[in-house]
Amino acid sequence: MIYTWETAEEINSKLAARVRAIRRRKKISQENLAEMSGVSHGSIKRFESSGQISLLSLTKIAIALGIADEIRELFTDVGYSSIAEVVNESR
């Protein structure tokens, strides 16, 4: 069993804060990001304030911000947590 000290909501909020910081660093308004990404302004506002967004919208935002590699690389280098996982993968 894997234990985490953060809730899903806390993890999403931290992710939203990082995306917001990248957007601001690039001097892109929420409205401009909405135009660039095809994600509604309301969805971007909700994401940045609550961390709630669909995976498709998050990917569109990442592409618009030039950080799509971060999404592409998600879960690519996940280590095994047990011998059973190694055995099960080879089946």
Mark 5-18 as b/e (b = at least 16 C-beta within 10 Å).
Answer: eeeeeeebbeebee
- The rounded percent of the chain whose pLDDT value lies above 90 is 76
pTM here?
A: 0.83
- Domains of the chain as residue ranges with CATH: 8-72 (1.10.260.40)
How far apart (Å, rounded) are the C-alpha atoms in residues 13 and 42?
Answer: 16
Tell me the per-residue pLDDT of 56-71, one tens digit each, with 9 for 90 and over: 999 999 999 999 999 9
Task: Give the gyration radius of the chain's Cα atoms.
Answer: 16
How far apart (Å, rounded) are the C-alpha atoms in residues 25 and 23?
Answer: 6
Q: What is the pLDDT of residue 1?
A: 54
Query: In the 3-class helix/strand/coil scheme, how is 28-79 assigned residue by residue?
Result: CCHHHHHHHHCCCHHHHHHHHHHCCCCHHHHHHHHHHHCCHHHHHCCCCCCC
- Residue 3 banded pLDDT, cuts 50, 70, 90: low
